[in-house]
Each structure stands twice: as C-alpha cells, then as structure tokens.
Structure 1
C-alpha cells in the first residue's frame, strides 16, 4: 500500500481531472510542461505538506500549487511553479534553498525561499537514469545478477512513462539530499540536484516496497515505508539498513530528536525508540485512525495529527500521548511550527493556523 494519506487527499483532484478530460482532450498538455495556474482558492485547495524556510512557511499540494507565508500563516501568496503535477512533500535545509517532489517523478528546486521554482528532474528522465547507471555497474561486474535486475527495473520505468510518484524529500544541506517514492524508488544528489544517482541497490528492501517518507532526527536518517518497512542510514556501510519493529503495517513518517525517534502510521500506531532503532515500544494513542503528520512545538513537545484531524501531544520525556480537543477539526496531511510559535496545518481543506498553549 502506498502512502495512504497522500492518495486519499489526492482523490478529489483525480476526480476533477477525469471530469474535465473529455473537454480538454484536443488541447492536452502534459502536466510536466504546464505551469501551475494561479488561483485565489489555492489556499483552500488540498495541500499535502508544509515546511519552514527560515521565518517563511511554504506549503505544497494539488495541481502544482505552492504557497508561502511571511506572517506565520495569516496571509499566503502563490509561488511561480513550472508544472501542474500534484506535489507531495517539501523540505528546506536552509532559509533560501528548498526542494519539492510529487507525482510523475517531479523534483523542483527553489533558491529564493519558495517564491519561484525550477524543475530539476521528472519521471520521463528517471527510467533512463536508472538504466544508464546500472548498465555501467553491470558492465564492470557482469557476474552480479543484481545489476541486470535493476537495469530491467529502469527499462520498465522507461516503457511505463512518467507515472511513478515521489513521496518524500530530505536534504542535509544545499548539496546533499535524497528523494524517495513508490516501488523502492530512491535517488541521491551531492551537487544540489544537478545530478542524481539511483540508490535502489543501497536499501534493504528486496520486495521493492513503497518508501513513504524520509526524515532526520538530528543524529540519524530514517525512511518510513509500507508493510512495516523502516530503514536507517548506516554511514559505515553506505546503505539504508532495515530495522526490526513490532508493527507490520505501513509507516507514514518519522520524527525525533537526538537520542529519540518516533515512527507513526496506519491505524494510530506510534512506535518509540531511544537506542537508535534497536528496540521499540508502542505508544498508546487510543485512536484507530492513521497518524499522518507530526511536528515539534515551541517547547520541543511532539504534536501528532491524524487523517481525521485529531491532535496528540507527547510531552518531552513522558512517553505518553494525550489527545487535545480542538475546534474546526479537519484532516491533516502536514504540520510545521511557525515563527510566532503557532502550528500551521495543511490538508484536504487547505491551510489553517493553530494556536497552542
């Protein structure tokens, strides 16, 4: 199962696209070549992720919509975006440099804190990139059957076209970063996105399960995937190694601080580790609803949100989650701490700010 939260929230956009398809058939332009349309309703349209860019907030969502706010979410402006693909995740390692990813294998880059964006990569290129990379490895090491298999995987991507979503993005700095997506799709760059290296051979993921998110806890880098897949970057081995967890359902995200990590996902499951992922304990959420977003508040406490809009709080060191009632509850796909200490939430109903005590 792919990242449930993102596809539930994308369903509305797919339906609208199908309804409009017949009328637009004669003038079809690929969404990868069609700039996002400016809309006064973008702030209320489905949004799937949000992040801080210095003091600025940036949110991404359907039809290539990217919004930014310089007043902690009170007012928003729409960014100039060269594609209309649905965007699923955004990350800023610095105040000005940021990356966003989404459907059709699209990777976007901004160097002005999210006001304007350029396309670095899309699904029409990824398959050929895999074929070339793994063909070179196969030529140098013909006895290794893995390379031939990965060449075949790349060739299938070429034949199937640009239809494979990227679901997560994380950059350590302005140069080093990763994008992840369906069927173990993972690419790494060391030059800010000018060049990308396939990393399918660097994951302990033999079933090619979907990679739903990638995040750092400050002292470790994790990937959350489907069917209980949780990976951690091993610097000495230069690969993402699988961690054993007591839950076999999908994880939708990871959040943490040095010395602690939470993995959250399907049906309200939240796991906690304080030893780098070697051992896990399950936190009781009291909810059968999927956890779809998380952030740290101004006190350093965890705030977790569900696809139905519930908010759970774990105070630092308590190892307990408490549900906090709120007005205007609505589905949450992404959350970020604003400069004024409030929380900004995005989801199927757009963006809203939440004051916290």
Structure 2
C-alpha cells in the first residue's frame, strides 16, 4: 500500500524531476538501487506482509525486509531501479510487486530478496501510486491522471485500461491513489473529488461511486465484516456497508489528512499527517485519536504479532512497542 504521504510525496518528486536537466533524473532513476548505511531511516511510502515477513518500500528504490515483526530491517539484495517506490503488494510469502515513479513496476519471486523490472517509462514521469494482484496472474496498477495498467500473465505484459468519463462530463483524468479488494471479488480505487471507483468483473469495467465528499481520498480498506472504509484529505472518512452503493460520513475526530487505513483484529487503524494515529474498535461508532509528539508524516502501518502498530513515515520506520 501513496502513500504513500503516498500521493503528495510522489507528486512533489515528479515536480522536482521536471525541474532537472532533461535525462538527468530519469537516467539516475533507472539505475540499480544503492546500498544505504541506514535504510530504515529513509522515507518509506508503503508496507505490506509477505507471509510472516514485513516488506516496506520508499525513496531511491529502497526495499526493506523484516523477519522479526519489525524489530530489525535489512535492505533487499537486488533492486534494479533507484526511482521512488510508492506501493507494494504480495499474494503469498514469495510473489510480490512494487510500483512507483516513472511508471516503474517491479516483481519478486523470492519474498522480496531480489527484484526484476517489468516496466518503466522514462519518457514521461507518470507515477504509479498503488498496485494489487488478486492471484499470481491478474494484477492492476493505478496512478497519476487516471493511469491504469492491467496484466493477466503475472506482469510479463501490461496493458493500459481507458476509464469511462466521470458523471457530469469531463475527461477521465482523476488521480487514482489506492486500489483494494473485498472478499466477494469487488475491486475499488480511492480517488479525487470524494470518488471511489468500483469494478465487479475483475477490472474490465469501472463505475464511479460518489461518497458525498469533495476532497481527495488517499486510502481505503475492505474490512473482514464487509464494511468498506476510505479516507483522505483533512481527516475525511467514509463508510459503506453495501459494497459501495451508499456511503456515510464518519466523524474521525481529526482534521489531519489520512494516508493509510489497515484492518486490525478488532476493527481498523489509520495513520496520517501531523503524527496522526487513530483506531475504531468493532461495534463502536467513536474513534480513539492520538497525535505523536514528533508530528511525524506517517505514510503506512502494519500490525505486528502482538496486535501493535509498526509505523512507516517520511523519516523511516517508527515502531510502537
């Protein structure tokens, strides 16, 4: 999971890239990732599980691995790019994919130890913000200006998908920030202007679902109890109990923007800007809201074996024990 701040950090990186002499940043981004002395203190954008292993991705092509529930981290042995990586996903303990700047897509078959490049387009920096595979063959990656790529052969080939125009007219050019799936096979993408996109046929066709909000939605999750929860700008949070047909606004108790939401054993946890960490327990309508003293820019979270969050940020891994 821009998260990454998933989207904003990636967009800022794009602006920086465009300001450089032609070819300079693109050439550097396509080079293999450097081995850093303190990689766990670098900007990290997303994290996920590969079986029991934790995997995090971030700036300069950094990919971190932890086999002790987030207590210690090491860098992946081989990453073929130095581009900022925005998101990562695994379908099991071995097979995973990561995406990021310059539309790069990486794949691993050994739990993240080594990665191979499946795609990069250094002619234009149209970053990918999120990636999801539903099995070893079928995957989708989404990003800037409604960029959507799909594969049905494990990523050996990727094809562009053209989205329909949004309701009310205009171009299909909204930024697509986070793709996730429910247990019934539905695919969802949190996007701009308070919109969630949904596909019920594996990504072949998409519809726009208005949540009632107007701000950008940076993240979303399908909970085990069937609820969908999406969040984003200025603490906006929306919930659906009918597969996205209708949405209700939730009072998150914060005005800090939400960058990631993850399911927990008894509800869900979210993180965001200004050191925001909040929880909702199953069966409760209220939230427990906490703000870290360091006001860290939190980008992602994972839950460890003890049920406690491991936090990822602009400053690297921030554990909460």
Q: What is the TM-score of this pair, normalised by structure 1?
A: 0.80
Larger radius of gyration: 1
Note the residue ranges of structure 2 that are not aligned, 5 or more in a row: none
Whether 1:214 and 2:179 are equivalent positions in the alignment is yes
Give yes or no for contact 2:187–2:203 (8 Å, CA) kept in 1.
no
Q: 2: distance between equivalents of 1:7 and 1:235?
A: 27
Q: What are the residue-to-residue correspondences of 1:1-357 with 2, within 5 Å?
A: 5-6=5-6, 8-9=8-9, 30-79=27-76, 80-124=78-122, 161-201=123-163, 204=166, 206-219=171-184, 220-235=186-201, 238-258=204-224, 259-297=226-264, 299-324=265-290, 326=292, 328-355=294-321
Q: Call closer, same or farther: CA 1:8–1:222 in 2, change over 3 Å.
A: closer
Residues 308-342 of structure 1 deviation map (CA, whole Å, 9 limit, x = unaligned): 11111111132322213556552211111234433
SS in 2 for 1:333: strand
Aligned length: 314
Q: Call closer, same or farther: CA 1:163–1:108 in 2, change over 3 Å.
A: same
Note the residue ranges of structure 1 that are not aligned, 5 or more in a row: 125-160
Q: 2: distance between equivalents of 1:113 and 1:203?
A: 38
Task: Give the CA RMSD over aligned residues.
Answer: 2.8
Q: 1: distance between equivalents of 2:6 and 2:25?
A: 25
Residues 239-274 of structure 1 deviation map (CA, whole Å, 9 limit, x = unaligned): 121112210111001112252100101010000111
Q: Call closer, same or farther: CA 1:237–1:341 in 2, change over 3 Å.
A: closer
Structure 1 or 2: larger strand share?
A: 2
Q: Call closer, same or farther: CA 1:295–1:85 in 2, change over 3 Å.
A: same
SS in 2 for 1:249: coil
Q: 1: distance between equivalents of 2:227 and 2:61?
A: 34
Give yes or no for contact 1:109–1:118 (8 Å, CA) kept in 2.
yes
SS in 1 for 2:60: helix
- Offset at residue 276 of structure 1 (A): 1.1
- Offset at residue 352 of structure 1 (A): 1.8
Q: Call closer, same or farther: CA 1:114–1:251 in 2, change over 3 Å.
A: same
Q: 2: distance between equivalents of 1:213 and 1:270?
A: 15
Q: 2: distance between equivalents of 1:236 and 1:86?
A: 28
SS in 2 for 1:120: strand
Residues 4-47 of structure 1 deviation map (CA, whole Å, 9 limit, x = unaligned): 9235445887899899x79xx99987134310100012110111
